[in-house]
Amino acid sequence: MALMTAAQYIESLRKLNTKVYMFGERIENWVDHPMIRPSINCVAMTYALAQDPQYAELMTVKSHLTGKTINRFANIHQSAEDLKNKVKMQRLLGQKTASCFQRCVGMDAFNAVYSTTFEIDEKYGTKYHENFKQFLEMVQEEDLTVDGAMTDPKGDRSKAPHGQEDPDLFVRIKERRADGIVVRGAKCHQTGSVNSHWHIVMPTMAMGPDDKDYAVSFACPSDADGLFMIYGRQSCDTRKLEDGADIDLGNRKFGGQEALVVFDDVFIPNEYIFMEGEYDFAGMLVERFAGFHRQSYGGCKVGVGDVVIGAAALAAEYNGVEKASAVKDKLIEMTHLNETLYSCGMACSCEGKPTKCGSYMIDLLLANVCKQNVTRFPYEIVRLAEDVAGGLMVTMPSQKDFDAETVVGKNGETIGDFCNKFFVGNGSCSTEDRMRVMRFLENICLGSAAVGYRTESMHGAGSPQAQRVMIARQGDLQGKKELAKRISGIK
């Protein structure tokens, strides 16, 4: 197949026996559930654009394994150009969905596992790299969406995995068999997990000898026996369940999703195991995945930022203040911050270098600088957008009020008449259009879409301190001291 259409992707999800729970009950038809479907639409866009000749250069690439044309989300980066095109693709999808399109985490897992398994095999004579290549060829041929699962619940953060009171707070090998392993535990905050065909599980931190059972990486299908998901709440998410709430949704077609993925004694055959106790490589896998994923934020969050800036500019126009110098300056600052994020994403890509197996790795220092900025700049972009939009963004009545025909006025006016009368803008747009852009900004800044932009900018791919740790490691402070010594004449 190699390239699925958007419709084929959605249909492929219906064929899975994925176990999804929400509000304490199993959701049988989760594909069409109004709270879940917007996130599926986001993933579908990654398939739709790959079918569009206008975007073929960004969305598709030749597989270095098979020579076939594949979706870039299943690609192993072979050059700095590949790394740059990845970021450009992510910005494009952010612009098209104004949300999280969920395939980045799997793509970043592919590239981290690919190079790490090569180096594990080099040291220990294992066959993990071949296992992974065969798995990836299947993913590429069937154009599958894969969730990259790294974040464990962690429990008591002061203790290592083996030191937890409950051993299941990190995914672990419970049993070893001749034909595979049985794993137990959970991965939390899993972006797009419900919408994925498969999962790649990775350790969540560097580990020591006592953590061998937790140093595990593998792939398994989303409907594997013993695997189930509990859907995460988002602000304003139940608006999607309301009738007549089209305007109130803001971004009515697209949205992100997160879930708790539980592994309740799941069997993993040997051919899908990519690490089994090699604790000394857990840190490498985490570091590489985190680096790739921090690069990703220089693309996806920038694309969403483009839409936020556009919505703020529309709000200013509809409010009649688009010519005010203060408003113009705020939009300039938003653009400056957004393009700075993009520059970081491109910079770490341009400085990419080959790993031992030939695949390309981003510059880790610049990737962490990119994500450190992402933990800050979107918050300022959102603050400025809220400033430009005004308080109506969070105080307006519901769409049902605008549509209401209940007579309340002395001259026969309805509730809807009064809403449309008093919330009119500068006359260049309808009251409804003004309300739509306000609700859209509310959704991006405060509502369910904030998971894919505002809050995810803080905690996705590691919270701020994680990047600062890596910046300290990669910053070569000693080398900088030597530069100062040489120039100042210190022997």
Domains of the chain: 6-285 (2.40.110.10), 292-474 (1.20.140.10)
Query: Among the options 191, 199, 272, 279, which is catalytic?
Result: 191
**Sign of the C-alpha dihedral computed for residues 421, 425, 430 and 436 taken in this order:** negative
Using 50, 70 and 90 to split pLDDT, how confident is the model at 1?
low
Residue 315 has pLDDT above 90, yes or no: yes
Q: Is residue 300 annotated as part of the catalytic site, yes or no?
A: yes
Q: Is residue 459 annotated as part of the catalytic site, yes or no?
A: no
Query: Among the options 300, 344, 348, 419, which is catalytic?
Result: 300
Q: What pLDDT, in 10s, does the model give residues 319-342?
A: 999 999 999 999 999 999 999 999
pLDDT at 455: 86
- Mean of pLDDT values over 279-301: 97
Q: What pLDDT, in 10s, does the model give residues 412-444?
A: 999 999 999 999 999 889 999 999 999 999 999
Q: Which residues are annotated as a binding site for FAD?
A: 191
Measured CA distances, 64 to 143, 307, 363 (Å): 15, 34, 22
Residue 448 has pLDDT above 90, yes or no: no
Query: Among the options 297, 342, 360, 453, which is catalytic?
Result: 297
Q: Is residue 191 annotated as part of the catalytic site, yes or no?
A: yes
Q: Is residue 297 annotated as part of the catalytic site, yes or no?
A: yes
**How far is Cα 40 from Cα 280, in angstroms, rounded to an integer?**
37
Using 50, 70 and 90 to split pLDDT, how confident is the model at 99?
very high
Which helix (H) or strand (E) covers residue 227, if one does? strand 227-231
Using 50, 70 and 90 to split pLDDT, how confident is the model at 2?
confident
For 454-463, b where at least 16 C-beta lie within 10 A, e where not — what string? Answer: bebbeebbbe
Q: Is residue 258 annotated as part of the catalytic site, yes or no?
A: yes
User: What integer best gives the mean pLDDT of the chain?
Assistant: 96
For 214-235, b where at least 16 C-beta lie within 10 A, e where not — what string? Answer: bbbbbbbbbebeebbbbbbebe
Q: What pLDDT, in 10s, does the model give residues 105-149?
A: 999 999 999 999 999 999 999 999 999 999 999 999 999 999 999
Q: What pLDDT, in 10s, does the model give residues 243-256?
A: 999 999 999 899 99
Residue 450 has pLDDT above 80, yes or no: no
Query: Among the options 42, 104, 188, 220, which is catalytic?
Result: 104
